[in-house]
Amino acid sequence: MIKVEQTAGGAAVRLEGRVLFLTEDPELIRRQLAGEDLDSDPGMKLRDDISTDEITPGWVCYHYDEKLGEYPYVGLECGGERPIGRNDIKRGGFVACVSGKRRGKGSSREASPFAELMAGIRVVVAENIERIYRENCQNLGLLTSTDFGLIERIRRGEAIPLTDVTKDADPVTREIIERGGLFSYNKARGLGEVSPPLPTTRSDRPMTVVEKVLARHWVRDLATGALGIPSVKPGDTGFVRTDLRFSHEYVTPMAAGLLEAYGQGGEIRDKESVLLFRDHLGMLDLVISEEKKSQGFLDLAGGLARRQREFAEQQGLRLHGDLPDRKGSEGICHTMVYSHYALPGQVVVGSDSHTPHSGALGAVAFGVGSTAIANAWLTRDVRLEVPESVRIEIVGKRPENVTAKDVVLEVLRHPFVKEGGAIGKVLEWAGPAMAELSVDERATVTNMSAEIGAFTGICEADGKTVEFLVERRGMDRIDAARYCAGLSSDVQAEYARVIEIDVGKLRPIVATPGDPGNGVFVDQLEGRVDVDIVYIGSCTGAKREDMDMYARVFGEGRRAGRRIPEGVICYIQMGSLDVEEYCRSSGYLELFETVGAKLLAPGCGACINAGPGVSSSPEQVTISSINRNFPGRSGPGRVYLASPYTVAASALAGHIVEWTP
């Protein structure tokens, strides 16, 4: 356990326990679980890219209390094996956990650091750490560091000054860590005991579009609610007022519990700007294994939805829930927020890493964890350090069969991204080829900015944004133009990096199993890759324009007398009822069924191992338009990620092929 001591140099922590190295070699992990302590060897190959799906697989997250402490790392794959079982970490007496690059990538689920904390882990050491995971750790009081020198100091039982752990943190984060978490900090903030200093950035500094939005939303005074400062720069730290706050049933129960336990009886503010969604687990009963069912996990998952519904009723919050006439939901939270709620220039936070979906509209939209969303319910603001921005210039003439999905898969395999250079940064998607894309296509790249590890992704608002608001929202054109006005970066704005992608040189790309960054051109795949399952859907791949692309390929197939071959099962799941109605009015539903696809009601489903389209054995191969193919994410099989064109063409061929117009 952590012992906080007061020394001559200030507060210090003494961490008493063992150090666990998460290595690529499963035998080394088993030896540690059996009681052996490994030396801190620089030559030891640590696991990189550990996702929150591996720390706490989806079924683990049906728990949302101290029970989570029985399960950390049960999904961790090392050398094709999963060496860590239930209660292994708690029994091992581990206080520190060490891994390589990009620790905590993927989902924003705060269940992951909470499970580690409940199992006895008190500090996480890694080469670099993903933003949301790191913030969740800080908000809960779990220490994080990139200083591998701490390992031997922990083993010696040294009293480590807290400043050695917080030396790279901004002043607000340092105060949060030293007070033991975000709730304790915000209690002190509400009492006036602490107040973040206002930025003193010069007022004439050229700014990016994200910096402009954050400056407008900066909280000057919590007590009076005063907002707005002239300018901000990377490194400025404080709180920004949110316009929308949303969560889904996977997260709402934990956040509600935190609110009740630590919220000091506070009321949720501005309830009309809080949205709840039942979209993730509505079809779980169709695919959950008998083993998991016998262990009570289906009941636990149902309990999440019940708890969210009760919370919504108690608090008077809007809940987009189950469909009354069939199994499914009104829509995926990101699709719904993007289609119905978010506006250019707003700050939108959601308890899901794909919240940047709405960045396609010129909104600053980013994911947060359960503690942050619960605090935001009380204060309506969130803390942040203004990130650096990376501008991704998309240039050249785009081939007809290259889509936004191919563009983001290309960026994901860029060395700068693979080494973690984009972690925690803003990705500003720009350039002439990006300006030519529709808003739906832009949403694909802003959504998958989460896979890149970014703070958020955003596109400047322009004429196409205005048209989107007029056509999809029925907004008056003058009002739409007013929302979009000024939402572009200054010519002299500063960027940490500018990456240029010549889309004219791209061909259709597929991400091979294990990670979205494993991109290769389809025509460079080794040998023929037969597919068993085709899953069309998710927030990334089930928008209106995605459906246009599937329909184009399937329409060509129908005219040629082709169908999805026997032995291949293809599911199509729209992102929302709106998208479903669009497909119905366009004649797509009949087309999809004619070529042999099975239609599902809107929802998340197979993307999170919770609906038809999941694999049931390691030998099965899936090609999908979803955003993640982490181990176990969609079942035990191998998942390839691709664009709507490539997915539909592969469905008709029975093996992975690119579509040629």
Q: What is the pLDDT of residue 159?
A: 87
Q: Is residue 135 a contact partner of residue 376, using CB atoms and an 8 Å limit?
A: no
Q: Do domains 191-506 and 510-653 have the same CATH topology?
A: yes
pLDDT tens column, 451-499: 999 999 999 999 999 999 999 999 999 999 999 999 999 999 999 999 9
Sorting pLDDT into bands at 50, 70 and 90, what band is 4?
Answer: low
Residue 168 reports pLDDT greater than 50: yes
Rounded (5°) CA angle 456-445-323: 90
Strand partners, 571: 535, 598
Structure tokens at 578: 């709106």
- pLDDT average, residue stretch 564-585: 97
- pLDDT average, residue stretch 233-257: 95
CA distance 619 to 355: 33
Per-residue burial over 118-139, b if 16 or more Cβ lie within 10 Å, else e, is: bbbbbbbbbbbbbbbbbbbbbb
Q: Is residue 596 a contact partner of residue 619, using CB atoms and an 8 Å limit?
A: no
Q: What is the pLDDT of residue 169?
A: 84
Sorting pLDDT into bands at 50, 70 and 90, what band is 534?
Answer: very high
pLDDT tens column, 269-294: 999 999 999 999 999 999 998 988 99
Q: Sign of dihedral through CA atoms 84, 89, 92, 96? A: positive
pLDDT tens column, 609-645: 999 999 999 999 999 999 999 888 999 999 999 999 9
Residue 223 reports pLDDT greater than 90: no
Percent of the chain scoring above 90 in pLDDT: 80
Mean pLDDT, the chain, as a whole number?
94
CA nearest 349: which of 490, 475, 214, 481?
Answer: 214
Residue 6 reports pLDDT greater than 80: no
Domain 191-506 has CATH 3.30.499.10: yes
Q: What is the pLDDT of residue 1?
A: 46
Residue bearing tokens 């907004």:
475
C-alpha distances out from residue 168 to 174, 204, 383, 424, 551, Å: 9, 28, 17, 14, 50
Percent of the chain scoring above 70 in pLDDT: 99
The structural domains of the chain, with segments of one domain joined by +, span 2-168, 191-506, 510-653
pLDDT tens column, 355-389: 999 999 999 999 999 999 999 999 999 999 999 99
The pTM for the full model equals 0.90
CA distance 421 to 639: 26
**For 118-141, what is the HEC assignment?**
HCCCCEEECCCECHHHHHHHHHHC
Q: Is residue 403 a contact partner of residue 387, using CB atoms and an 8 Å limit?
A: no
Q: What is the pLDDT of residue 469?
A: 98
Domain 510-653, second-level architecture: 2-Layer Sandwich (3.30)
* The listed CATH number (3.20.19, 3.30.360, 3.30.379, 1.10.8) that belongs to domain 2-168: 3.20.19
